[in-house]
């Protein structure tokens, strides 16, 4: 046995045990075929010099690999990275078309390496380490016994997080081409089906709603084939126990660090085995692997929690905000912004913008974001995308002067781009028809009157880099909102040969990542916020490039309860773009109090998206208090631990809170959707406090012990006879009421 901190190898029986203080992951090399058998993943177990006791083997009437052997069926062996075509008929982790046309491979173990820290994946976003001591990486080297293909499986285990990341790498060391038809990032066979599946799904304006259902025999696939991770399914799933709640029970999370087409699937067979796999969607995918080429899959981040969903989420939050998000803004307080979109849409001029900016600055807002409509001649959504030059009709003095004037007001300046798109009325479209994704001679569908640039073509990426660079090198810009408002159809690239068309979707997203890389290398101080018609590309891949992401075009406070609650399942509050907008709400027509709109938006990256000049002086006073409040607490909100307390998916009341890492301070958000007559008393039981510490609860200044607040909770009653006994304000007879409470150790 070789001693290592986190990766223990039983050299004689070829067993690998990745373990830290919370988790264990065990697999081995099979004696006969030298393929990999999965043995265990879950709560940490003691290391043993032999994990023989985890092997399940029985003679079965099945296809078996070897003659005179009835226990060599992969249908009955838990696997690490299953192949297809021999003895397992379930969906495999990969599929390769060999030069002869067959799809049979046999990747046999050769050796392994252990690395301190975590190697980068060329061209792809991934979690990282800052110090090598934060993690160890195991790489298992396998080789196809029939061809010159090699396969590397990477496993990184973090020291202080219950996290293992996985990915794979195919290398062609031969002289002939192979075609990858599927290359998932990971697969795991759980020896039971006693789980429920939890996932996030939705659509435009109702992203990341939480669904949960028992597993049954068969396959359940969550996927995207639209060229972005999309709003329909988030690239995430969790297996949880029937009894798992927010705060107790097991949860296994799987999150994909990728922004393109993905598949996340659970397949349960009739032997109660649950196979989870995640990776690039094999549908419509193929990759020509030429001699000396390597194909790297993106990574999957696996989190284990034995303390419920909330602990799983906190693990993702901690890891993603500190070891996925990067750059200056990772740890810097995010500016409170005002965005022009719902304030003016396309209809603005310099005076109007400066008017909004001036009044925003007076109220304490720190960043002005000029959204869509500043370039070309864009008065509606039917033109000018791809012509990233300022519209002198609206801004006759140009962006430079506007930016200077905004800076003179003491604000930062931000700008909206939609780099991946093009409109028909632009030079770039007319001069380069083949830069548009479409099949020559066949109809091309539009989305919002726009077409998609072929980001698999480096010339296209160059063009966009140059156009954006022209502006960024000239104008003082501290923030970019990178939008993407339609999905890829008629997927075909004039840049790729016929036998490489299956590569388009992946190459497209690699092109998007490369443009981010180039811009960020040259402009490391710019804060990026990504967006895709709201939360249509809210995924860990984007989080690597933009520490905040616009969560939804739906800015209604009540709708946002669900969207932000669901988004927090994986993503930290510091990533969730959330704004106060005007009423009636532009998406749903609802009138909610301005207090509630802010009380929801505080639990994200806070900002405003309305015409602030139209607010009454009373409303402006409220706004200025909200801004002062957020400035005071944003560090707590963005660096604390988030606890979901009451779910909008099954309750009229919603509660959540964020607790400082040292548990001396907390903020609680409590929301009532509809007012009810003669309602029961509601108690909100808190979480994450130190049970023996005394805390002051404000408003009210009541002093309570942590365990009292956790076990008894705060009383919210409808009619407030005794001021001190309820945490509602005096009059709670209204819909959409809300309350923020502050808790501080005394």
The neighbour count for residue 437, using CB atoms within 10 Å, is 28
How far is Cα of residue 438 from the mean position of the Cα atoms in its chain?
29
Binding characters for ligand GLA, 516-545, by CB under 6 A (x = yes): ---------------x-xx-----------
Give 63 or 389: the residue with its C-beta nearer to ligand GLA: 389
Give 342 or 595: the residue with its C-beta nearer to ligand GLA: 342
Strand 451-452 with 479-482, pairing? unpaired
Are residues 577 and 553 in contact, defined by beta-carbon separation less than 8 angstroms? no
Which of 189, 553, 595, 611 is close enough to bind ligand GLA by CB under 6 A? 553
Binding characters for ligand GLA, 388-417, by CB under 6 A (x = yes): ----------------------------x-
How far is Cα of residue 384 from the mean position of the Cα atoms in its chain?
30
How far apart are CB 534 and ligand GLA at their closest, in Å? Answer: 5
d(CA 490, CA 35): 40
How far apart are CB 307 and ligand GLA at their closest, in Å? Answer: 35
How far apart are CB 552 and ligand GLA at their closest, in Å? Answer: 8
Binding flag, residue 577, ligand GLA (CB under 6 A) = no
Please enumerate in sequence order all residues whose Cβ is within 8 A of that of 625, keeping only pairs 6 or more positions apart, or say none.
none
For 476-506, letters b (16+ CB in 10 Å) and e give ebbbbbbbbbbbbbebbbbbbeeebbbbbbb
Give 531 or 580: the residue with its C-beta nearer to ligand GLA: 531
Which of 366, 372, 391, 582 is close enough to bind ligand GLA by CB under 6 A? 372
Which of 371, 454, 539, 559 is close enough to bind ligand GLA by CB under 6 A? 371
d(CA 182, CA 287): 8
Binding flag, residue 595, ligand GLA (CB under 6 A) = no
The neighbour count for residue 608, using CB atoms within 10 Å, is 28
Please enumerate in sequence order all residues whose Cβ is within 8 A of that of 377, keeping only pairs 6 or more positions apart, or say none.
383, 384, 391, 393
Q: Which one from 371, 553, 554, 611 is the annotated catalytic residue? A: 553
Q: What is the DSSP string of 280-314?
A: E--TT--EEE-TT-EEE---EEEEEESBHHHHHHH
How far apart are CB 620 and ligand GLA at their closest, in Å? Answer: 24
Are residues 364 and 627 in contact, defined by beta-carbon separation less than 8 angstroms? yes
How far apart are CB 448 and ligand GLA at their closest, in Å? Answer: 8
Q: How far is CA 589 from CA 346, 584, 611, 654, in A?
A: 21, 5, 17, 21
Alpha-carbon torsion, ordered 635, 637, 639, 642, to 10 deg: 170
How far is Cα of residue 694 from the mean position of the Cα atoms in its chain?
36
How far apart are CB 16 and ligand GLA at their closest, in Å? Answer: 45
Judge whether 88 counts as a catalytic residue.
no
How far apart are CB 416 and ligand GLA at their closest, in Å? Answer: 6
Tokens of 216: 């049954």
Interface size with ligand GLA, residues (CB under 6 A): 11
- The DSSP 8-state label assigned to residue 272 in this structure reads S
How far apart are CB 150 and ligand GLA at their closest, in Å? Answer: 43
With CA atoms as reference, report the closest residue to 218 among 273, 268, 274: 268
User: Minimal CB distance to ligand GLA: which residue?
Assistant: 372
Q: Which one from 483, 539, 556, 611 is the annotated catalytic residue? A: 483
Are residues 38 and 93 in contact, defined by beta-carbon separation less than 8 angstroms? no
Tokens of 256: 């994909």
- The DSSP 8-state label assigned to residue 228 in this structure reads S
Give 252 or 416: the residue with its C-beta nearer to ligand GLA: 416
Judge whether 381 counts as a catalytic residue.
no
Give 15 or 371: the residue with its C-beta nearer to ligand GLA: 371
Binding characters for ligand GLA, 164-203, by CB under 6 A (x = yes): ----------------------------------------
Give 550 or 642: the residue with its C-beta nearer to ligand GLA: 550
d(CA 595, CA 731): 14
Are residues 298 and 124 in contact, defined by beta-carbon separation less than 8 angstroms? yes
Give 583 or 679: the residue with its C-beta nearer to ligand GLA: 583
Tokens of 496: 């790729």
Within 477-506, the residues that bind ligand GLA by CB under 6 A are 483, 485
Give 534 or 607: the residue with its C-beta nearer to ligand GLA: 534
Give 335 or 535: the residue with its C-beta nearer to ligand GLA: 535
How far apart are CB 488 and ligand GLA at their closest, in Å? Answer: 17
Q: How many residues does the chain have?
A: 746
How far apart are CB 449 and ligand GLA at their closest, in Å? Answer: 11
Give 189 or 559: the residue with its C-beta nearer to ligand GLA: 559
- The DSSP 8-state label assigned to residue 378 in this structure reads -
Within 311-350, the residues that bind ligand GLA by CB under 6 A are 341
Please enumerate in sequence order all residues whose Cβ is within 8 A of that of 537, keeping only pairs 6 or more positions apart, or say none.
228, 229, 230, 259, 484, 530, 531, 549
Are residues 592 and 583 in contact, defined by beta-carbon separation less than 8 angstroms? yes
Residues taking part in catalysis:
483, 553
User: Which residues of this chain interact with ligand GLA, rule CB under 6 A?
Assistant: 341, 371-372, 416, 483, 485, 531, 533-534, 550, 553
């Amino acid at each position: 046995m070789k001693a290592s901190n986190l990766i223990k190898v039983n050299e004689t029986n070829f067993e690998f045990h990745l373990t830290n203080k919370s988790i264990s992951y065990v697999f081995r090399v099979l004696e006969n075929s030298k393929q990999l058998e999965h043995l265990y993943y879950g709560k940490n177990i003691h290391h043993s010099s032999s994990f023989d006791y985890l092997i399940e083997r029985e003679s079965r009437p099945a296809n078996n690999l070897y003659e005179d052997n009835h226990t060599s069926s992969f249908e009955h062996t838990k696997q690490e990275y299953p192949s297809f075509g021999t003895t397992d008929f379930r969906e495999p982790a990969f599929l390769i078309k060999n030069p002869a046309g067959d799809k049979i491979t046999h990747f046999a173990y050769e050796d392994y390496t252990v690395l301190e820290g975590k190697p980068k994946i060329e061209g792809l976003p991934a979690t990282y380490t800052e110090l090598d001591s934060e993690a160890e990486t195991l790489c298992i080297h396998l080789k196809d016994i029939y061809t010159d293909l090699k396969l590397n499986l990477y496993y990184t285990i973090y020291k202080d997080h219950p996290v293992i990341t996985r990915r794979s790498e195919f290398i062609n060391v031969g002289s002939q081409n192979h075609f990858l038809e599927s290359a998932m990032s990971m697969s795991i066979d759980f020896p039971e089906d006693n789980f429920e599946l939890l996932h996030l799904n939705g659509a435009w304006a109702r992203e990341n709603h939480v669904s949960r259902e028992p597993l049954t025999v068969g396959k359940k696939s969550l996927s995207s084939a639209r060229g972005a991770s999309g709003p329909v399914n988030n690239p995430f799933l969790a297996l949880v126990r029937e009894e798992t709640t927010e705060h107790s029970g097991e949860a296994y999370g799987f999150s994909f660090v990728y922004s393109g087409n993905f598949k996340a699937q659970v397949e349960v067979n009739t032997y109660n085995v649950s196979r989870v796999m995640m990776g690039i969607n094999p549908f419509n995918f193929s990759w020509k692997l030429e001699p000396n080429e390597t194909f790297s899959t993106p990574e999957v981040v696996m989190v284990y929690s034995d303390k419920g969903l909330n602990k799983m989420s906190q693990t993702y939050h901690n890891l993603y905000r500190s070891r996925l998000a990067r750059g200056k803004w990772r740890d810097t307080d995010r500016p409170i912004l005002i965005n022009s979109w719902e304030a003016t849409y396309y209809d603005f001029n310099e005076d109007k913008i400066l008017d909004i900016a001036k009044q925003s600055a007076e109220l304490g807002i720190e960043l002005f974001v000029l959204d869509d409509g500043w370039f070309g001649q864009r008065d509606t959504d039917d033109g000018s995308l791809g012509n990233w030059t300022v519209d002198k009709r609206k801004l006759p003095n140009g962006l430079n002067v506007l930016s200077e004037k905004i800076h003179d007001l003491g604000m930062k300046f931000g700008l909206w781009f939609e780099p991946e798109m093009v409109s028909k009325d632009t030079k770039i479209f007319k001069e380069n028809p083949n830069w548009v994704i479409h099949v020559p001679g066949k109809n091309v569908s539009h989305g919002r009157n726009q077409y998609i640039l072929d980001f698999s073509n480096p010339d296209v990426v160059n063009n966009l880099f140059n156009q954006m660079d022209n502006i960024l090198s000239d104008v003082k810009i501290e923030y970019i909102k990178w939008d993407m408002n339609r999905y890829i159809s008629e997927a075909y690239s004039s840049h790729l040969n016929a036998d490489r068309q299956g590569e388009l979707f992946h190459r497209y997203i690699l092109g998007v990542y490369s443009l981010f890389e180039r811009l960020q290398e040259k402009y490391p101080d710019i804060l990026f916020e990504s967006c895709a018609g709201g939360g249509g590309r809210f995924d860990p891949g984007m989080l690597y490039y933009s520490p905040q992401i616009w969560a939804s075009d739906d800015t209604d406070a009540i709708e946002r309860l669900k969207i932000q609650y669901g988004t927090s399942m994986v993503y930290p509050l510091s990533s969730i773009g959330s704004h106060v907008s005007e009423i009636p709400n532009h998406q749903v027509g609802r009138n909610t109090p301005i207090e509630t709109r802010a009380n929801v938006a505080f639990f994200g990256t806070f900002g405003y998206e309305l015409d602030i000049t139209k607010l009454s002086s009373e409303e402006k006073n409220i706004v200025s208090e909200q801004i002062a409040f957020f400035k005071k607490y944003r560090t707590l909100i963005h660096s604390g631990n988030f606890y979901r307390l009451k779910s909008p998916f099954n309750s009229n009341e919603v509660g959540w809170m964020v607790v400082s890492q040292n548990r001396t301070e907390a903020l609680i958000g409590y929301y009532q959707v509809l007012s009810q007559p003669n309602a029961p008393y509601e108690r909100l039981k808190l979480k994450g406090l130190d049970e023996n510490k005394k805390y002051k609860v404000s408003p009210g200044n009541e002093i309570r012990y942590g365990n009292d607040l956790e076990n008894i909770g705060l009383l919210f009653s409808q009619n407030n006879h005794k001021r001190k006994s309820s945490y509602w304000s005096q009059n709670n007879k209204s819909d959409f009421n809300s309350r923020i409470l502050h808790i501080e150790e005394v």
